[in-house]
Amino acid sequence: MPLTFSDFSPVGLAFEIRYPDAYLLWDHAGQMSQELREIHEITRLVSADPGKIAFIAEGTREVSWSLGSMIVLDHRPRNSAFESFFTLCKDCFEIATRNLSVSELKRVGFRPTFSKNFPSKEEAVAALLSTGLLYTPAGKNFNVEPAGRYPEYAIRCEDEKFGYLLRLVVQEINYEFEPPPQWMGNVVDPTHEQRLTLDIDYYSRAAIAVGSLNVSEWLAQVTHAIRRDADSYLAR
């Protein structure tokens, strides 16, 4: 069966805006934090440094504002939750631009990551090679007899206004939990996943006026384009 985008599941979302250094953050951090808390569930404070404030929101999401950027992350996205992530991004964007008097953005970026798990590394490698995007010579090369391979494909494409960096990577993901000495709960065994990761970083290349960016619509449009066109790199 050919590999298609429908085989992948979302494993991470990242939205970032970059703006000229906004020193009003030093004066308005408390106000911004309160405005966020009034419209979204804040799980805990992560950082409250002079140049950065960060929160865990709604359990799996992280929001941070710094002197030169705002980043919103979702560490455990689901397809059905994209819209609520877009809403969080929009709200954080409006809080930042209003309180920091930001009128122009240096960069806007959206980086969704998707993956497909495989029973073995070899099967993940075979899936990537089946796309026809890579050629890997057999045998010994550069004085190395390969006992294993982790191929990676990457391409950057740009026009005058926007660009994207697309990567397909074979990865081994390890999850380990090291409990503190006083831990009385169940022992959590380490787990390992062999996966093929599709990582797409979509970004602006020119300055954007704050008033011309509708965050929710822009994120939805980029997501639609990714779902529409990703098979150009996968299906053969």
Q: How is the chain split into domains, by residue range?
A: 7-136+147-179+189-234
pLDDT exceeds cutoff 90 at 62: yes
Over residues 61-72, mean pLDDT: 97
Report d(CA 101, CA 31) in Å as an integer.
Answer: 14
Residue 139's Cα: distance from chain center in Å?
36
* Amino acid, single-letter form, for residue 129: L
With residue 106 as reference, give the H or E element that holds it: none
**pLDDT higher than threshold 80 for residue 147:** no
| 143/51 Cα distance (integer angstroms) | 48
Please, which pLDDT band fits residue 109 given cuts at 50, 70 and 90? very high
* pLDDT recorded at residue 233: 94
pLDDT above 80 (res 183): no
Backbone angles phi, psi at 208, to 5 degrees: -125, 130
Pairing of strands 107-118, 104-105: unpaired
Instruction: Locate 132 and state its tokens.
Output: 């026809």
| Whether pLDDT at 176 is above 90 | no
For range 134-156, the mean pLDDT? 86
Taking the C-alpha atoms of residue 41 and residue 84, their distance in angstroms, rounded to an integer, is 12
59 or 162: which carries more pLDDT confidence?
162
Question: Residue 96 in contact with residue 65, Cβ under 8 Å?
Answer: yes
Q: How far apart are CA 55 and CA 95, in angstroms?
A: 14
CA 84/CA 67 separation, integer angstroms: 26
Q: Which of 74, 73, 72, 69 is nearest to 107 (CA)?
A: 69
Which amino acid makes up residue 105? L
- pTM (two decimals): 0.90
CA distance 83 to 173: 27
pLDDT band at 47 (very low <50, low <70, confident <90, very high): confident
Q: Among residues 112, 114, 107, which one has the least CA distance to residue 203? A: 107
Percent of the chain with pLDDT over 70: 95
- Contact present, 58 and 41 (Cβ < 8 Å): yes
**Helix 215-229 crosses helix 82-100 at what angle (to 10 degrees)?**
140
